[in-house]
């Protein structure tokens, strides 16, 4: 995921919040542990010294300090980092916006995170990433009765190369083919950088039996996700096509923007559901 996309919008949102609601906010993009990236939104605090400590790789030394100052932490770092830092953030009663939803396929981690947030007035915001319709899925999840949820993801072969599920296998780069069909747990293990949308769909619909289908198509120039929902309450087909992130073809450009939009909704007097 491109941090530049996130940064290009987040500063505009911070300015909007500051001017419109008279809330003094600052943002720093903190890099540590090489490729891991966090954005820290703070209130009236100069984080130069703390960011410099991050650069020296001394996260543990200042973890309590950063949590004390932070209002919102936006995770752009991956599932492993999310698991490591979620509980300290939530224990401090802060809001965590996260994109690496695949971490929540670990049910023990998910339940511990939810309980920690509930006990400490923290909040977990899982953003929509490359898809939409989560409001519809959550609405339908309130009904009684069974539902069928399927998400079909179509990407170019180059976007799928390197996935653990394809190790030792030959991916045909010239024709369209189904490379995976199965459950969410198996999908995220086999395609950890490609199928966070499947996890988000399962979480929002509250359907652990959500089915995932991954298609490799050399003719496509967009990452396409189609969600099919069926129940006694409603039927729906929702399809989303987003351009691949130039910095990370495995993800869509809208993924980073969804984190910025979530932050805007947290502070805006009007939100859309």
Q: Give the three-class secondary structure for 225.
A: strand
Separation between Cα atoms, residue 10 and residue 256, nearest integer Å? 10
Distance CA 169, CA 189 (A): 16
Using alpha carbons, select from 65, 129, 74, 63 the residue that is nearest to residue 96. Answer: 74
Query: Which of 161, 158, 130, 150 minimizes the C-alpha distance to 220?
Result: 158
Specify whether the CB–CB gap between 178 and 143 falls below 8 A: no
> Using alpha carbons only, what angle is made at residue 179 by residues 181 and 141, rounded to the nearest 5 degrees?
35
Tokens describing residue 136: 């519809």
- Please tell me what DSSP assigns to residue 22: -
Helix, strand or coil for residue 216? strand
User: How far apart, in whole angstroms, are the C-alpha atoms of residue 174 and residue 66?
Assistant: 49
| Gap between the Cα atoms of 250 and 215, Å rounded | 13
**Do 229 and 149 meet the contact criterion of CB atoms below 8 Å apart?**
yes
Using DSSP bridges, classify how beta strands 211-216 and 147-155 pair: parallel, antiparallel or unpaired.
parallel
From the candidates 11, 209, 221, 225, give the one annotated as an active-site residue. Answer: 225
Q: Is 225 part of the annotated catalytic residue set?
A: yes
- Residue 199 to residue 159: CA distance in whole angstroms: 18
Residues recognised as catalytic = 225
């Amino acid at each position: 995921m491109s941090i530049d996309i996130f940064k290009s919008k987040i500063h505009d949102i911070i300015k909007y919040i500051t001017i419109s609601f008279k809330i003094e906010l600052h943002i720093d993009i903190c890099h540590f542990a090489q490729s891991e990236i966090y954005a820290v939104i703070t209130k009236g605090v100069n984080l130069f010294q703390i960011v410099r400590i991050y650069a020296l790789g001394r996260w543990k030394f200042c973890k309590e300090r950063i949590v004390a100052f932070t209002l919102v932490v936006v995770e752009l770092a991956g599932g492993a980092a999310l698991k490591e830092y979620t509980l300290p953030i939530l224990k401090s009663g802060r809001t965590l916006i996260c994109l690496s939803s695949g971490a929540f396929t670990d049910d023990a981690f998910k339940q511990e995170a939810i309980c920690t947030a509930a006990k400490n007035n923290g909040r977990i915001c899982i953003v929509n990433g490359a898809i939409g319709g989560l409001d519809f899925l959550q609405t339908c999840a309130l009904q009684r009765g069974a539902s069928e949820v399927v998400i079909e993801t179509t990407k170019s072969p180059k976007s799928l190369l390197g996935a653990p599920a394809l190790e030792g296998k030959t991916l045909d780069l010239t024709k369209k083919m189904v490379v995976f069909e199965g459950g969410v747990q198996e999908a995220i293990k086999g395609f950890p950088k490609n199928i966070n949308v499947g996890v988000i769909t399962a979480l929002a619909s509250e359907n652990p039996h959500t089915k995932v289908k991954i298609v490799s198509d050399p003719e496509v120039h967009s990452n396409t996700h189609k969600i099919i929902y069926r129940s006694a309450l409603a039927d729906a087909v929702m399809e989303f096509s987003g351009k691949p992130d130039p910095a990370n073809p495995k993800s869509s450009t809208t993924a980073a923007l969804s984190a910025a939009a979530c932050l805007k909704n947290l502070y805006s007097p009007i939100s859309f559901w």
